[in-house]
Amino acid sequence: MPSRHHEFELKSPKRVILRRILAMAKPYRGRLAAGVLLGLVISALSLVQPYVAGQGINAAIRSLEGAGFSWEGFAPVVRIAAVLALVSVARVLVQYVHTMVLTHLEMQIMTALQRRVYRRLLGQSFSYFDKQDTGLLINRTIGDVNFLRQFYTTVLVRGSEVGSSVLFYAGAILWFDSWVAAVAIPFLPVFLLSMTVFATKIHPLFHEMRDEMDRSTTILSENVQGIQVVRAFGREPEAVAHYESAIGGLLARWMRLAWAFSLYQPAIVFLGQLSLLAMVGMTAYRVLYVYGGLQVGAILTVFLWARLVTGHMHFFAQMTGTLQHSLVSAERVFEILDARPEITPPEQPRPMPEGRGHVVFDHVTFGYDAAQPVLKDVTLDIPAGTNVALVGATGAGKSTLIKLLPRFYDPLQGRLLIDGADIRQLDLRDLRAEIGFVFQDTFLFSASLAENIAFGVPAAEQRAIEDVAARARVDEFAKVLEDGYNTHVGDRGVTLSGGQRQRVAIARALLTDPRILILDDATASVDSTTERAIQDALAEVMKDRTTFIIAHRISTVKRADLILVVDGGRIVQQGTHETLLAVPGPYQEFVQTQWQLGIEELEGRP
């Protein structure tokens, strides 16, 4: 089955991808130019070294001719050696500066690109992550960005340097003797043709390799995050086998690439050696039989120049692989950068209106798939300060209903209003700052207890943190922790119990002081005693704000000012606990079922 980035490749030919990569280099064109310029200086110094060395050899031979060795005759050799030493020192110094410039450039490009990708990911709508694998996103943010940055330093900078160097050396050989240059010309089209064919063959192999890397990273991420489930069901052998299968697929793709390179690179080296032999042979012939005289230095100079040219041919062979890998990585990175969030802020947002959380659902219809609505023509008018409970079977649409309030998703039809303003006309940050959310699946960051509570208000004072912690009954267990509120809670809050994590999440929501508070089954992970304590603590807080509670316990639901019974994406009943309990229907069945199961006390049973 074709992957998403293969589809992207069909829409964006390589030349388009290449233009986009080059366009991204504009902010760094000064540093890129400096890198190329320094590389050209290195190439020029490399060109001078063989020439000076050749002249030194010839001078040494001349100094030995005639009466024998003398300091006067050897003086040219000393001067040439001194020049050669100076050129070598200059080359080392320029090489050092060049390396530092390229290293700094690489890190700047990589970190800037990772920031762009990360910002784009954080700006995506929930629906984007519903369709993406974690491993794929991790690989593109880290691995593909890393390979893409090689384009600028290896392909663009080093390629420009090496290409210019080849022209320098070729020009020098042509200046020395056009016949020597002529024998190398037939090898050039063979080299270019082989490089083009090789690039065409390996491009899809890099795609397949990156696909397998996505797969293995996703499996690793899922099994690490779900290690409790894997161990609880004794699925370690199957998990290992699944991961090894993915690694085996990745290894197979790497071996196919290695096989391709193992054939191509030696062929290029052999081609270079043939051209080297041809040029040296022609040089020897021209020096000995055309110019006359034994000028070993000339032969050495041309040999070194030709050796540099053929060495650069080997670099171009390697660069072909780097270029194709960079293009593949660029396609994958651009797919993220090109993704446009479905939820976007208005061009000219309205200011958040004054109010205490008057919420209106105006004929709202929504579905994650437009062909299968989850909510169907929901109309509600909830006065500010109302405590609303939502009950209903799993999949009825309760969580979906409240996820529309902070615009995690937008309705397919209808609109939502908060204090008279259509939420699509409000700035997203302003809107979400007024909504406190406690998710059913509590997520805590690998940080201290205080930092997790203050996540929505990083500048909060310790006193404010401890105040909301006390309201959510976090202080009860924080006091016994070794470092109190500075205790590190581990990845995803692993050092805390489910009930403790839920209380931290409640405190985190309260600290933002929202006008609307949403508790998505927020007390599901706590015992009845703790639930009562939390409810008592929240009772005072809920007086001045609109609260939506998804709950499955009567003890939580019956405290609400308004109970909404959701069934099949519609509001089928609404009212208080007493009025709904007195009427035959879904709510009465829900309560009676809990009594029969012994989940709730018989208090208030009809």
Nearest CA-CA partner of 547 in 387, 361, 313 = 387
What end-to-end distance do the CA atoms of the chain give, in Å?
Answer: 59
- The pLDDT tens digits of the residues spanning 8-27 come to 343 457 778 888 888 888 88
What pLDDT, on the 0 to 100 scale, is given for residue 417?
94
Rounded to an integer, the average pLDDT of 334-340 is 85
What pLDDT, on the 0 to 100 scale, is given for residue 585?
86
Q: Where in the chain is the domain with CATH 3.40.50.300?
A: 359-597
What pLDDT, on the 0 to 100 scale, is given for residue 382?
93
What pLDDT, on the 0 to 100 scale, is given for residue 524?
62
- Cα separation, 281 vs 278, in Å, equals 5
Q: Which of the pair, 54 or 473, is modelled with greater confidence? A: 473
Phi, psi of 489 (to 5 degrees): -95, 0
Name the range with the highest mean pLDDT among 227-236, 447-456, 540-549. 447-456
- Cα separation, 146 vs 111, in Å, equals 9
What pLDDT, on the 0 to 100 scale, is given for residue 11?
46
Rounded to an integer, the average pLDDT of 84-88 is 81
**To 10 degrees, what angle do helices 14-24 and 296-338 make?**
90
Rounded to an integer, the average pLDDT of 168-174 is 73
**Across all residues in the chain, what is the average pLDDT?**
79
Give the percent of the chain with pLDDT over 90. 9
Residue environment code for 528-548, b if the CB has 16+ CB neighbours within 10 A, otherwise e: eebbebbbebbeebbeebbbb
What pLDDT, on the 0 to 100 scale, is given for residue 292?
57
pLDDT at 68 over 60: no
Judged by average pLDDT, the poorest of 121-135, 170-184, 450-464 is 170-184
What pLDDT, on the 0 to 100 scale, is given for residue 100?
87
Rounded to an integer, the average pLDDT of 302-329 is 77
Question: What value, to the nearest 5°, has the Cα angle with vertex 582 and ends 581 and 584?
Answer: 85
Angstrom CA distances, 273 to 258, 300, 313, 438, 576, stand at: 22, 16, 10, 69, 90
Q: Which CATH architecture has domain 4-338?
A: Up-down Bundle (1.20)
Alpha-carbon radius of gyration of the chain: 36
Query: Is residue 2 very low, low, confident or very high in pLDDT (cuts 50, 70, 90)?
Result: very low
Residues 6+ apart with CB under 8 A from 321: 202, 257, 261
- The pLDDT tens digits of the residues spanning 429-470 come to 889 888 888 877 778 888 888 888 888 888 888 899 888 888
- Cα separation, 370 vs 61, in Å, equals 88
CATH code of the domain occupying 359-597: 3.40.50.300
- Cα separation, 115 vs 248, in Å, equals 32
Q: Where in the chain is the domain with CATH 1.20.1560.10?
A: 4-338
- The pLDDT tens digits of the residues spanning 102-119 come to 888 878 888 888 888 888
Q: Taking a C-beta distance cutoff of 8 angstroms, is the pair 258, 202 a contact? A: no
Phi, psi of 409 (to 5 degrees): -140, 160
